[in-house]
Chain A
Amino acid sequence: MPKLLKDQQISNDDFQILQQDPEEPVLPDGNVLFHVSSIDQAVKTNGLHKGQVGIWFDSDDEPETVANALNQFEIIAVNFPRFMDGRGYSLARLLRERFDYRGDIRAIGDILVDQLYYLKRCGFSSFRLREDQNPDYALAALTTFSTDYQTAADKLPPVYRLRHQL
């Protein structure tokens, strides 16, 4: 099972990621993530299902269209098909800052140690690490820098405000 980094802890990520438009719409037991294209089904299932229900976005999906429905889910995941595909960073910031999503935002897909710091700043609160990643390095990566020059979803004051005690 993939490793999960969340709240400074390493555990197993037992969420099952349902594909877009599954041919076999049989719902597995346990925690599941519906692709955003099946959000209606996710809404219906939420609460009835044994296990948590969440939504996942691919990097080219547009959260704008479903913004109002998001806060009823405890978890939203954003997929990185390849770590070089940086769209997920913007999506997470939109979820946190524009749509005021307060649940867990999980980075899934090609999630590597060296991108964790930026992911965290953009609003991700949990990270499903690619199988080969070293969990100790992952934990350490979250504190690579002690201050930052710009505002982001983590809402920490940027250096240009810290300097003037704003």
Chain B
Amino acid sequence: MYKYDDYDQQIVDERVLQFRDQTRRFLAGELPEDEFLPLRLQNGLYVQRFAPMLRIAIPYGMVSSTQIRKLAYIARRYDKGYVHFTTRQNLQLNWPRLEEVPEILEELASVEMHAIQTSGNCIRNTTTDQFAGVAHDEIIDPRPWCEIIRQWSTFHPEFAYLPRKFKIAVCGSEQDRAATQVHDIGIHAFLNENNDVRFKILAGGGLGRTPMVGSVIKPSLEPEHLLSYLDAVLRVYNRYGRRDNKYKARIKILVKALTPEVFAKQVETEWSHLKETDARLPQQEIDRVQSFFTEPDYEKLTNIDLTDLALSAEPDFQLWLRRNVHPHKKPGYSAVTLTLKATADAPGDASSEQLEAISDLADRFSFGELRVSHEQNLIFADVPQSRLHELWLTLKPLNLATPNQGLLTDMICCPGGDFCALANARSIPLAESIQRRFDDMDFLHDIGELDLNISGCMNACGHHHVGHIGILGVDRKGEEYYQVQVGGSSGHDASLGKILGPSFKMDEVPDIIDKILKTYVELRTPEERFIDTCRRVGVQPFKEKVYAKAA
């Protein structure tokens, strides 16, 4: 994992001082609210329905047990004793006091963390694959590149007041677990025919009101030019992205208006002036950053037959092995997902007690490190297979062994109307009613892989467009309703879902989901996952079933 040097530490420390002074001036009435707003946003501080909300970066999802302990402490000392993991490898405190935020930032800086650019019209926290470094299908470890991008984007003086926010995701494996096609810039690292690292660059993807899949603007880029090329993309966007209408201000609108070809050409022209400057990355720095992402001290182990392991233990454990344990590139090791999706807990929430227990377990089972996934779950990346059962037994009483990774009840869900001032509808109670309705693990396992994503409004924080089933809160004459869509996906074959038809009331939604699932079960071929069936048959059969008049 990356460790700060004196430069990194000094920069975050200076940021704390800067924000302390800005907060002081705001509270003293010297800095008007509308001028403080972008400053606090660039420190992750929103003001929400009931209280400010502080969004803390977990750069590319890597976090140590020491950092998690600090977060548990912060949540208890400055908030209500729990935290919320988001879909962009960030963490949110829902109830901090504005006056105390500088102090929280100081606490964070003491464990090499910050809230820099987690919000606002700037370059946001760069995200990646939660299995980076351990995935069996990984070609390039994306984390050093994420760290290099993190540093480049931190306090970038030219791009702090963009037309709109800007999000970059990096992946380095065959399967895209970072949703790179729905980011402002998606970066795919690969090896060319000479085995040299290259990047494929996509631009113009995004969710929100106008969901779009990104286009390739550079098929192959040398690593030394990564930063100058990003500078060029951002400069074209900064100058020509729309500023007259915030709903048309994302880069996707510019790329579409110009066409991806013309946009790529403009970037190329800009880049020709930038590539031979100091923006060229020195190899020494690439080597230095890569040196932090070496393998931990793996033992020499051999793979255990997980089927044998399963048969020797409790049925619950078998389900958990099937769903929450993932292949690892090292023999004898597995990666394990702790889903933060137990029924009745808001998806993505964890209490200080859970966090403390989790950090102890990370020390015992997984080299003291954890990952945060965009599905709002936590991951132990390096667990010896021989200790899986022991780990499961320890997780169970903590309510962290729900065997539903990737299943219907492992939902992505935004905070919705319970917390968010922009919401049309609540989403957490809906998530809970769906979890209650579908609590039969055998049924869920039979349905198999299924992403259910819920957003409380068209800002799409819950990624409903790319859920296999997506639910969107809408307002019908002041009442909360939910629109349902099917067929979205955020994988390497990303697609956007199609709306089934008129929206439903909250208490109708579980039934509607049930009808959708039954339609799938009727129509599927033996190998088909839900999304495969959707793609083969289209929305029509789902529509018919869902809107059929009761006989």
Chain A residues with CB under 8 Å of chain B are 83-87, 89-91, 93, 97-98, 112, 114-115, 117-119, 121-122, 134, 137, 144-152, 155, 157-164, 166
* Contact between chains at A89 and B10 (CB < 8 Å): no
4 tightest A-B contacts by CB? A86-B161, A121-B157, A118-B157, A151-B278
* Contact between chains at B151 and A86 (CB < 8 Å): no
Give the nearest-CB partner of A117 in chain B: B157
* Contact between chains at B14 and A159 (CB < 8 Å): no
* Contact between chains at A85 and B243 (CB < 8 Å): yes
Interface centre among B39, B121, B161, B273 (most CB of A within 10 A): B161
* Contact between chains at B7 and A162 (CB < 8 Å): yes
> In whole angstroms, how far apart are the Cα atoms of A118 and B278 in the complex?
18
Q: Is the interface of A mostly helix, strand, loop or mixed?
A: loop
B30 nearest CB across to chain A (Å): 7
* Contact between chains at B38 and A87 (CB < 8 Å): no
- Besides A87-B238, A149-B151, A150-B151, 6 other CB < 8 A contacts? A85-B161, A118-B157, A144-B14, A145-B15, A145-B155, A150-B279
Residue from B10, B160, B162 within 8 A of A146 (CB atoms): B10
* Contact between chains at A89 and B161 (CB < 8 Å): yes
- B216-266 contacts to A, CB under 8 A, are 227, 235, 238-239, 243
Give the nearest-CB partner of B156 in chain A: A150
Residue from B152, B238, B279 within 8 A of A86 (CB atoms): B238
Cβ of B66 within 8 Å of any chain A Cβ, yes or no, is no
- Whether A90 touches B278, Cβ cut-off 8 Å, given contacts A147-B10, A149-B151, A159-B7, is no
Give the nearest-CB partner of A88 in chain B: B161
Q: Which chain B residues lie closer than 8 Å to A119 at the CB level?
A: 157
Give the nearest-CB partner of B285 in chain A: A160
- Whether A159 touches B35, Cβ cut-off 8 Å, given contacts A85-B243, A86-B238, A151-B277, is no
Q: Which chain B residues lie closer than 8 Å to A164 at the CB level?
A: 282, 284-285, 288
Interface centre among B10, B159, B239 (most CB of A within 10 A): B239
> In whole angstroms, how far apart are the Cα atoms of A144 and B155 in the complex?
11
> What are 5 A-to-B residue pairs whose CB atoms are below 8 Å?
A83-B161, A114-B31, A118-B157, A146-B14, A149-B152
* Contact between chains at A86 and B159 (CB < 8 Å): yes
Give the nearest-CB partner of B160 in chain A: A118
> In whole angstroms, how far apart are the Cα atoms of A147 and B10 in the complex?
8
Cβ of B291 within 8 Å of any chain A Cβ, yes or no, is no
* Contact between chains at B243 and A89 (CB < 8 Å): no
A24 nearest CB across to chain B (Å): 30
Q: Which chain B residues lie closer than 8 Å to A121 at the CB level?
A: 157
B105 nearest CB across to chain A (Å): 15
Cβ of B158 within 8 Å of any chain A Cβ, yes or no, is yes
> In whole angstroms, how far apart are the Cα atoms of A152 and B159 in the complex?
11
Total contacts A-B at CB 8 Å: 110
> In whole angstroms, how far apart are the Cα atoms of A117 and B14 in the complex?
13
> In whole angstroms, how far apart are the Cα atoms of A90 and B236 in the complex?
9
A49 nearest CB across to chain B (Å): 32
Contact with A along B457-485 (1 / 0, CB 8 A): 00000000000000000000000000000
- B140-154 contacts to A, CB under 8 A, are 148, 151-152, 154
> In whole angstroms, how far apart are the Cα atoms of A148 and B154 in the complex?
9
* Contact between chains at B161 and A157 (CB < 8 Å): no
Q: Which chain B residues lie closer than 8 Å to A84 at the CB level?
A: 38, 121, 161
- Whether A89 touches B18, Cβ cut-off 8 Å, given contacts A84-B161, A151-B277, is no
Contact with A along B357-377 (1 / 0, CB 8 A): 000000000000000000000
* Contact between chains at A159 and B151 (CB < 8 Å): yes
> In whole angstroms, how far apart are the Cα atoms of A55 and B285 in the complex?
41
* Contact between chains at A134 and B160 (CB < 8 Å): no
A47 nearest CB across to chain B (Å): 31
* Contact between chains at A157 and B238 (CB < 8 Å): no
> In whole angstroms, how far apart are the Cα atoms of A115 and B30 in the complex?
16
> In whole angstroms, how far apart are the Cα atoms of A47 and B22 in the complex?
44
A127 nearest CB across to chain B (Å): 14
* Contact between chains at B39 and A114 (CB < 8 Å): yes
Cβ of B344 within 8 Å of any chain A Cβ, yes or no, is no
Cβ of B11 within 8 Å of any chain A Cβ, yes or no, is yes
> In whole angstroms, how far apart are the Cα atoms of A1 and B155 in the complex?
32
> In whole angstroms, how far apart are the Cα atoms of A138 and B8 in the complex?
25
Q: Which chain A residues lie closer than 8 Å to B160 at the CB level?
A: 86, 89, 115, 118
Give the nearest-CB partner of A89 in chain B: B158
Q: Which chain B residues lie closer than 8 Å to A148 at the CB level?
A: 155, 157
* Contact between chains at A122 and B282 (CB < 8 Å): no
B7 nearest CB across to chain A (Å): 5
Cβ of B5 within 8 Å of any chain A Cβ, yes or no, is yes
Cβ of B281 within 8 Å of any chain A Cβ, yes or no, is yes
- B158-213 contacts to A, CB under 8 A, are 158-163
> In whole angstroms, how far apart are the Cα atoms of A114 and B21 in the complex?
10
